[in-house]
Structure 1
Amino acid sequence: MSRALSPSPEAHHPAPPLAPRTLGVGLILVVMIVAFESMAVGTVMPRVASDLNGLALFGWASSAFLLSSLLGAVASGVLADRRGLAPGTVVSLALFAVGLLVGGTASSMPVFVLGRLIQGLGAGGLGALPWAVITTRYPETARPRMLAAMSSAWLLPVLVGPLIASVIADQWSWRPVFWGLVPLLLLAAPLCVLPLLARHGSEGATRAQTPGSKRQLWPALGLLASAGALIEGLRRPEAAALIVAGLGLIGLLLAARPLFPAGLWRLAPGLPRLLALRGLLAFAFMGSGTFLPLALHDLRGLSLSGAGVVLSVGGATWTAGSWIQAQLERRWNGAYRSLTTRGALACVALGLSVTALSTLGITPLWCVYVGQVLGCLGMGIGYNGISLNALASVPAAEAGRLSGQLANIETLMVALSAGIGGALIARVQPMQGAFTLAFGITLLAALTAAVAALRLRLAAPE
């Protein structure tokens, strides 16, 4: 969960002095490392599953990471509330490093999944760190520049991360993609931690104005356990596993109630519908991305490097879509945001359809690039448009809580999509049938989002 904080603690406390430059450098390095790992893992997963004979647990490699990252973000917030930012940062960095080492040295797929789970606990805390640090350690005038720097830190990993990881795996091994990041993490750690050791008074003042993360810890743990039961129940062939999956679904719906606004699952107007749209898009496009490299490798014979190029093309187009959306905002100030969002979501559904048809061998292989360009362009425009509409639908004082909800729905839905896709890969033969069903489920989510977007207002953000 994002720990974005209330934007105006200075109303009661002096503005913090400008943080040391080393803190900013450390934050950027940490964001880049987490971003590279996030973009790289999906590309090398076909090789990991093959080397460790772990195709049955393929979906868990992504789901374990994502679900534990949600819990890790909340737990790091609890620790920061009690001990300050420095201890939480140390714990998150240590967990992420341990997870990288366990995953990179794993001799079996269960151990690899365990490493991904540990990694996720650390990544959740590190993902929330920039919001908390920027709010408590930087004056208001410096925050836009730091937020822009954090966003830019994702750019290079998005563009070249999949390609670099696939080349390393093809030419050497997939293992350095994991443990090779540990030295960089050791370099970034002191740059982040040392400036945070001096606890700043604005930390407590800011936390007092935000929803208590301690109250969200048990729901987050329940969400992780319930989603895990649902995924594992679907993965196993035993009849009793359906009961486990059903109980997991019920638990998931109950655990989600304290974390999200009422009406989320029925797409109620306003914020619930906007969060649901974000979740459906994440389930559809980002979820399909967790098994796309494996499908391209197994069904179309594409090398890991070839699959890395596909993902890098998508990353570049997503970035371009975000830039286009920003230009539209600058020109029209949100007047046509709902209209452009509708078009973008239709583009996502079309792009996913083209990608699926090409991957399944129905259309030529080059069409997968067209599909990725269409889908990622739609995601770049539509995803940001939905987020801006959501921010416009709540008071400024609730922006911190909303940022957490936006992050949580994305993490949850991608984890579910990866888990369901992995369950189909484990149970359905031949593989062509498994991938057909997996693409069909994600495409259904994309079409549902596109249809639901038709009810967004045209002239103004909701």
Structure 2
Amino acid sequence: MSRAASPQSAAVLPVAAVPRTLTVGLILVVMIVAFESMAVGTVMPRVAADLNGLSLFGWASSAFLLSSLFGAVASGVLADRRGLAPGTVISLGLFALGLLIGGLATSMPVFVFGRLIQGLGAGGLGALPWAVITTRYPEADRPRMLAAMSSAWLLPVLVGPLIASVIADRWSWHPVFWGLVPGLLLAAPLCVLPLLARPRGEDMAAPARARTQLWPALGLLIGAGTLIEGLRRPDTPALIVAALGLVGLLLAARPLFPAGMWRLAPGLPGLLALRGLLAFAFMGSSTFLPLALHDLRGLSLSGAGAVLSVGGATWTAGSWIQARIERRWNGTYRTPVTRAALICVALGLSLTALSTLGVLPLWCVYAGQVTGCLGMGLGYNGISLNALASVPADQAGRLSGQLANIETLMVALSAGFAGALIARVVPLQGAFTLAFGVILLAALTASVAVFWLRPPAR
């Protein structure tokens, strides 16, 4: 992206002059996106039942995730050419439009389309805090702002699933979506107006590479979407569609990720693969866990929301513990902690799966979520820190994009694969058994692979 703004098109704002309204607006946007992210999985069983759309259940998550990947890259290109304000307006508008379409949908295809539009906006909004903090805040204030952005997730993580489930149980699932639009209308001027004045040097994390990644990101969206649709359809030509989608996905991924990632090559490729496997396993399971608990164990939406809230709180606690270990021992114990954490993830998913499928008592699902989310909080950040340590400082921006992209892609594939099983396998007990089996295989692969990947030198 351009390093300097045109004086004819924008005023020059010193980096130190940051309006408080911008900080408030950013925190509000992050909280709204976080609440939606935590709430949607909880109410999806009700959405699928009301819209008679169980066959498209996986697409509700996959469409959102894949379009958000493309939306993040596209917003970077737009920020390069026009500054942050136009991209923020478009992202807020698309997110709000998607919420309205989804909240007012009367059929599952329309709901999925709303989720796709919403994802385009969510991708841009997800990248916005990092871009604004980098370009608008003095270096001394950046750690405080990053901490504030992380803390903005805490309340939605703790209460988002519960609030969403209570609203859906007592009234309807529709307000869970369109009810967030007034919050966006409040946050929009707080974010956009301060960004109209464009300072010198405004860019996003990886300016020069954003344009070159736009077409591969679009190819990734199309390839992964074609693969998911091919897996979902029961007819014979669907196998050809799935194969073409897989080839397209692999080709589009080559410019976005380092060589050797798919075969767990040592160093950065293997670390990205580990992050992808964990995202596929644990985050992917969250896209269908509420439906499984509701249909197989008779748990209400509020009960499923409580399970997700317990997991979210434990994940946050694990992240805090990992951060304290890093500060106290300066990364000395990062590798053994990460290895133990990945074992906890596999154990937690095993307990969750066996409890959901009826092999173990229902209370074991809470134990599984606590164990698995604690492992994710400890291990996920450890993998990211090792990845950062494996590249030069001037490549940190590109790496942040790779970390986000592999996570989004693998969760989308996991949700799509589980959705395909739900659409094609009867009874649902068999579909969920196969889905849990695949995610457990991914978690076990990660917990074994972490032992042979040599950690980077600190």
Please report how far the alpha carbon of residue 455 of structure 1 lies from its aligned counterpart in structure 2 after TM superposition: 1.4
Against the structure 1 CA distance between its residues 57 and 461, is the aligned structure 2 distance closer, same or farther, given a 3 Å change threshold? Answer: farther
- Classify the secondary structure of the residue corresponding to 2:38: helix
Contact 1:211 1:401 in 2 (8 A): no
C-alpha contact (below 8 Å) 2:351/2:367 kept by paired residues: yes
Which of 405, 410, 426 in structure 2 is aligned with 1:408?
Answer: 405
Q: Secondary structure at the match of 1:202?
A: coil
Give the equivalent residue in structure 2 for 1:10: none
* 1:56-135 alignment, distance < 5 Å: 56-135=55-134
Out of 359, 362, 386, the residue aligned to residue 359 of structure 2 is 362
Q: Is the 8 A contact 2:80 2:207 kept in 1?
A: no
TM-score (norm 2): 0.96
Partners of 1:81 and 1:15 in 2: CA distance:
19
On the 8 A contact 1:349/1:446 being kept in 2, the answer is yes
Determine if contact 2:352/2:369 at 8 Å carries over to the other structure. Answer: yes
2:8 corresponds in structure 1 to none
Structure 2 spans left out of the alignment, 5+ residues = 4-11
Q: CA separation in 1, counterparts of 2:265 and 2:152?
A: 35
Per the alignment, residue 231 of structure 2 pairs with 234
Give CA deviations for 1:38-81 in whole Å, capped at 9, x if unaligned: 00000000000000000000000000000000000011111111
In structure 1, give the amino acid aligned to 2:235: E
Question: Which residue matches 1:144?
Answer: 143
Which residue identity does 1:186 align to in structure 2?
A: L
Alpha carbons 1:360, 1:436 under 8 Å: kept:
yes
TM-score normalised by length of structure 1: 0.95
Cα deviation code 1:378-399 (max 9, x no counterpart): 0000001001111111111111
Structure 1 counterpart of 2:65, one-letter code: L
Q: Percent identity?
A: 82
Match of 1:8 in 2: none
Q: CA deviation at 1:16?
A: 1.4
Contact 1:220 1:255 in 2 (8 A): yes
For residues 434 and 417 of structure 1, the distance between their equivalents in structure 2, rounded to whole angstroms, comes to 13
CA distance in 1, matches of 2:213, 2:198: 24
Contact 1:45 1:294 in 2 (8 A): yes
Residues 338 and 461 in structure 1, CA contact (< 8 A), matched pair in contact too: no
Distance 2:78 2:293 in 1: 42
Contact 1:219 1:255 (C-alpha < 8 Å) held by counterparts: yes
Distance in 2 (CA, whole Å) between partners of 1:144 and 1:383 is: 20
The structural deviation recorded for 1:456 is: 3.5
Q: CA deviation at 1:457?
A: 3.7
> For 1:17, what is the secondary structure of its paired residue?
coil
Q: Using a 3 Å threshold, how does the CA distance of structure 1 residues 107 and 262 change in structure 2: closer, same or farther?
A: same
| Aligned partner of residue 212 in structure 1, secondary structure | helix
Q: Is residue 244 from structure 1 mapped to residue 241 from structure 2 by the alignment?
A: yes
Q: CA deviation at 1:18?
A: 3.2
Letter in 2 for 1:202: G
The answer as to 2:194 corresponding to 1:195 is: yes
Tell me which residue corresponds to 1:420.
417
Letter in 2 for 1:158: V
Whole-angstrom distance in 2 between the partners of 1:116 and 1:14: 36
| Alignment correspondent of 1:435 | 432
Matched, 1:304 2:291: no
Cα distance in 1 between the residues matched to 2:16 and 2:254: 39
CA distance in 2, matches of 1:379, 1:367: 18
Distance 1:15 1:138 in 2: 9
- Paired residues, number: 449
Q: 1: distance between equivalents of 2:80 and 2:89?
A: 14
Q: Which residue of 1 aligns with 2:395?
A: 398
Shift of 1:199: 1.1
The answer to whether structure 1 residue 281 and structure 2 residue 278 are counterparts is yes
CA positional deviation for 1:115: 0.3
Q: Which amino acid aligns with 1:401?
A: R
Aligned-residue offset at 1:14: 11
Report the 3-state secondary structure (helix = DSSP H, G, I; strand = E; otherwise coil) of the residue aligned with 2:145: helix
- Structure 1 counterpart of 2:148, one-letter code: A
Match of 1:9 in 2: none
Deviation at 1:26, TM superposition (A): 0.2
Runs ≥4 residues deviating over 6 A: none
One-letter amino acid of the structure 1 residue matched with residue 66 of structure 2:
L
The separation in 1 between residues aligned to 2:287 and 2:390, in whole angstroms, is 31
Partner Cα distance (1:97, 1:431) in 2? 34
Mapped contact 2:259–2:269 kept (Cα < 8 A): yes
Alignment-mate amino acid for residue 448 of structure 1:
T
Q: Which residue pairs with 1:181 in the alignment?
A: 180
**Is 1:257 aligned with 2:251?**
no
1:447 to 439, 444, 449: 444
Cα deviations across residues 185-235 of structure 1 (Å, max 9, x unaligned)? 00000000000001111215x67x744211101000000000001000000
Contact 2:13 / 2:197 at 8 angstroms: preserved in 1? Answer: no
1:375 equivalent in alignment to 2:391: no
Q: Is the contact made by 2:13 and 2:198 (CA closer than 8 Å) also made in structure 1?
A: no
1:403 Cα deviation after fit = 0.6
Aligned residue number for residue 29 of structure 2 = 30
Structure 1 stretch displaced more, 209-218 or 295-304: 209-218
Which one of 210, 214, 224 corresponds to residue 213 of structure 1?
210
Greater CA drift, 380-389 or 195-204: 195-204
Distance between the aligned counterparts of 1:456 and 1:315, measured in 2?
Answer: 28
- In the aligned structure 1, how far is the partner of 2:199 from the partner of 2:295? 53
Give the distance between the partners of 1:385 and 1:164, measured in 2 at CA. 31
Does the CA-based 8 Å contact 1:15-1:140 persist in structure 2?
no
Matched residues in 1 for 2:208 and 2:324: separation?
33
The change in CA–CA distance for 1:298 and 1:84 in structure 2 (over 3 A counts) is same
1:94 CA drift (Å): 0.1
Q: Deviations over 1:327-347 (max 9, x none)?
A: 111121111211110000010
Name the CA distance, whole Å, in 1 between partners of 2:201 and 2:74.
20
Q: Secondary structure at 1:19's aligned position in 2?
A: coil
Look up the equivalent residue of 1:230 and give its one-letter code.
L
Aligned residue for 1:162, secondary structure, equals helix
1:93–1:185 contact (8 Å) kept in structure 2: yes
* C-alpha deviation, 1:407, in angstroms: 0.3
